[in-house]
Structure 1
């Protein structure tokens, strides 16, 4: 994202600009090149502004991870809002949204995750993201399940892990979008049907 000229940006607008610029740097140069100093320079702002928004490089990477997850969550909520009450339709929606998001930001997410491996704040953030995702798919699939709520939660946690693994296979070029979505859909249906 290019530096802005003209009027002063509001704090949310500046943060969005910095996030966009950070994603550009991540795509073009990789996670190692993403520092607050580099971000400030590319965004056309002073270093203190970048530090004010993110605090540390790790804070920036966590904010990027959260932005990706928020986008995914919003897409899934929107897609499920108009869903029919059939398991295969709901499973297909969950799968297609996950695969679309993996295609859209999978490489970025993998770079962010790798750069923060072992970081306590990132671990906590990722766990919260997984818990939120598991809760969403559990709620969406609950009407189709005969198993206890605890068992369904565990199955949905397994599905979240399977979705991530299938997404990695797709990003690595080991499968295509159609096969990835179809197999994730099948896993969802098989997990709910007892």
Structure 2
């Protein structure tokens, strides 16, 4: 163990390493994050980091999952606090979707670093399915559609959200315009 490190439980150490990894990505981008730079920044030996993540891809995937968990928790909380109308639910969903770009800049950096890896493709499908199901469950009480039809429309709305996010990232739309456009699409599809 490196000098100055403290013995932590495995889960506590993993959280500390992910916190440190997030700090590195914020400061240097995903290119600055390696298992070696993480070990050095966290003040632990390299085998500790390798034991937790195995590879750089493993580290990036763990960081991506953590960001997704935080995003989902914040989205679920916002939805619980929303007025029970389709317009308000759609607005909360839209705001939550675009919050990734504004509130979690690390999301794009980590996502870009993982592009093209088979693990990332699998995780993105898993996350898309989860987000689609979350949307459909929240919208179902406000729709005459079957759950299957609503899920398909939510998939379409998420495809549109991705395209709108591209416009937002290129400076072709403001966050408010993006939220309004996606909200209108969701309401119109219900």
TM-score, length-scaled by structure 1: 0.88
Deviation at 1:7, TM superposition (A): 4.7
Tell me the C-alpha RMSD between the 2 structures: 2.0
Q: CA deviation at 1:5?
A: 5.3
Q: What does 1:59-98 correspond to in 2, within 5 Å?
A: 59-98=58-97
Q: TM-score by structure 2 length?
A: 0.90
Q: Counterpart of 1:118 in 2: which secondary structure?
A: coil
Indicate if the aligned counterparts of 1:103 and 1:171 stay in contact, CA closer than 8 A. no
Structure 1 position 8 matched with structure 2 position 7: yes
> Can you give the 5+ residue segments of structure 1 that lack an aligned partner in the other structure?
none
CA distance 1:68–1:4, change in 2 (3 Å): farther
Which of 150, 164, 167 in structure 2 is aligned with 1:166? 164
* Cα deviation code 1:60-119 (max 9, x no counterpart): 1111111111111111111122333211111111111222232112x4222222222221
Distance (whole Å) between structure 2 residues aligned to residue 16 and residue 167 of structure 1: 29
Deviations 1:105-158 (A, max 9, x none): 2x4222222222221111111111111100000101111222222221111111
Q: Flag the 1:4–1:146 CA change in 2: closer, same or farther, 3 A.
A: farther
Residue 133 of structure 2 corresponds to 135
* Bigger mean CA deviation after superposition, 164-173 or 127-136: 164-173
| Separation in 2, partners of 1:176, 1:5 | 46
- Does residue 42 in structure 1 map to residue 41 in structure 2? yes
- Give SS of 1:134's match: helix
User: 1: distance between equivalents of 2:128 and 2:14?
Assistant: 24
| Residue 31 (structure 2) aligns with | 32
